[in-house]
Amino acid sequence: MKTHERFLNYVRIHTASSEDSTTVPTTARQFDLAKLLVEELHALGIENARVDDKCYVYASIPATAGCENAPALGFIAHMDTVPDFSGENVQPRIIENYDGGEVVLGNSGRTLSPEKLPHLPSLKGKTLIVTDGTTVLGGDDKAGIAEIITAVERILSENIPHGKICIGFTPDEEVGSGADNFDVAAFGADFAYTVDGGVDGEIEYENFNAAGAKVVVNGFNIHPGDSKNKMINALLVAMEFNAMLPAETPANTEGYEGFFHLTDMGGSVEKCEMSYILRDHSSEIMTARKATMEHAAKILNEKYGAGTVELGIRDQYRNMKEKIEPCMHLIENAIAAAKELGIEPRVQPIRGGTDGARLSFMGLPCPNLGTGDFACHGPYEHVTVEGMEKCTELVVKLVEKYAGFVLK
């Protein structure tokens, strides 16, 4: 089966995770895809494929004769889609020989536009898969799943020599808990790659240090006609808090630049809550970002009274760079494999994170490979058939390279 054919099957399965759930996985519907993937792996002859009670899919293929001493190489992707935009009833549309211009997304009133997405003209002539404008597409990360399984199918059907291959599909990556219950020992790999988002040829081993912050502002509401020197408007204090932060947001930063991102805000005069994510590649600057928020809360509590602003900060994941640098063969081999396939390797930092960041600190060095996915996490998400095919070929080529690889 072709990569994009698998992909079209997967995206129609609703697998959005949930930030508010306390169950594992956060949504039972993720099992629907997990069970299908196990069935597909069994059909390929991988008898040990299984899904555990926490919705983690594991499978492995023993090394072929003569490759028993090669490193065990893993490939990992996640099954869930983002919880903050619908992943239900996805209706993908295929556009052959895309002209590089605007694409009307169904009857949603939304349009893929080169004005807002400048990379679109570079996709001219390719086969584009888009949404109907009312859901995500699910390329993040069902494109990665399709690429891994299709690569494995080719390796087995073409009898390509290989070391031990380990396959893992995780739930709940989009809510930051995809690696929480990942069994590294049972997975059985020495090294791995996540295949999770980004254009074909992306090779990433640096990611943000990440934290989440919750701000609760407790106001004092009283009749506005009798409120002088008495009322504390929680909404206004919240705005004051945000204004005290540096104007470093996702909309005006790039590359290694970090940010404060206000993701949610709601409330009333009596009480207001805000949620932020903090990101930075530098651990030192991340520490300073946390201190900036703490200082803002301190100043406002001194101004309006103790307990007016409550601040909680929770670390989410760390920059995997320090864990990958001792294993730079993972990056060097990926670059070489891409070049051999005529793919332009793009080694760049991730302005986000993957399961691989957490797994690297759990003892499994795990950089990331692109999947050919663009504009993920919203209705403008799109992939190219050609990009997914290149990513599939890259997985196959890496398996070939590690079949004869000797650790120094």
Over the stretch 77-88, which tens digit does the pLDDT of each residue have? 999 999 989 999
d(C-alpha 352, C-alpha 321), whole Å: 13
pLDDT recorded at residue 407? 80
Sheet holding 128-130, edge to edge: 93-95, 128-130, 382-384, 373-374
> With 80 as the cut, is the pLDDT of residue 334 above it?
yes
Of 159, 154, 161, 156, nearest in space to 66 by CA = 161
Q: What is the mean pLDDT of the chain?
A: 96
Strands 191-195, 73-78: pairing kind: parallel
Residue with tokens 């990569």: 3
> With 80 as the cut, is the pLDDT of residue 197 above it?
no
Per-residue tokens: 124: 């001219």
Q: Top-level CATH class of 3-207+319-403?
A: alpha beta
Per-residue model confidence as pLDDT tens digits over 108-122: 999 999 999 999 999
pLDDT recorded at residue 245? 98
In the chain, CATH 3.30.70.360 covers 209-317
pLDDT recorded at residue 193? 98
d(C-alpha 148, C-alpha 198), whole Å: 15
pLDDT level of residue 354 (50, 70, 90 thresholds): confident
pLDDT level of residue 320 (50, 70, 90 thresholds): very high
What angle is formed at CA 313 by the lines to CA 311 and CA 315, rounded to 5 degrees?
180
pLDDT level of residue 220 (50, 70, 90 thresholds): very high
pLDDT level of residue 399 (50, 70, 90 thresholds): very high
Sheet holding 209-218, edge to edge: 259-267, 271-280, 209-218, 309-317
pLDDT recorded at residue 316? 87
d(C-alpha 82, C-alpha 27), whole Å: 12
Per-residue model confidence as pLDDT tens digits over 121-179: 999 999 999 999 999 999 999 999 999 999 999 999 999 999 999 999 999 999 989 99
Region 307-328 average pLDDT: 95
Query: Residue 50 in contact with residue 57, Cβ under 8 Å?
Result: yes
- Return the half-sphere exposure (C-beta side, CA atoms, 13 A cut-off) of residue 155: 30
How large a percentage of the chain has pLDDT more than 70?
Answer: 100
Active site amino acids: 80, 173
> With 90 as the cut, is the pLDDT of residue 406 above it?
no
Region 211-239 average pLDDT: 96
Per-residue tokens: 252: 């005006």
Of 102, 103, 100, nearest in space to 124 by CA = 100
Per-residue tokens: 109: 């009133």
pLDDT recorded at residue 198? 85
Does the domain formed by 209-317 have CATH 3.40.50.720? Answer: no
- Return the half-sphere exposure (C-beta side, CA atoms, 13 A cut-off) of residue 110: 17
In the chain, CATH 3.40.630.10 covers 3-207+319-403
Q: Which amino acid is at 72?
A: A
pLDDT recorded at residue 352? 83
Per-residue model confidence as pLDDT tens digits over 361-392: 999 999 999 999 999 999 999 999 999 999 99
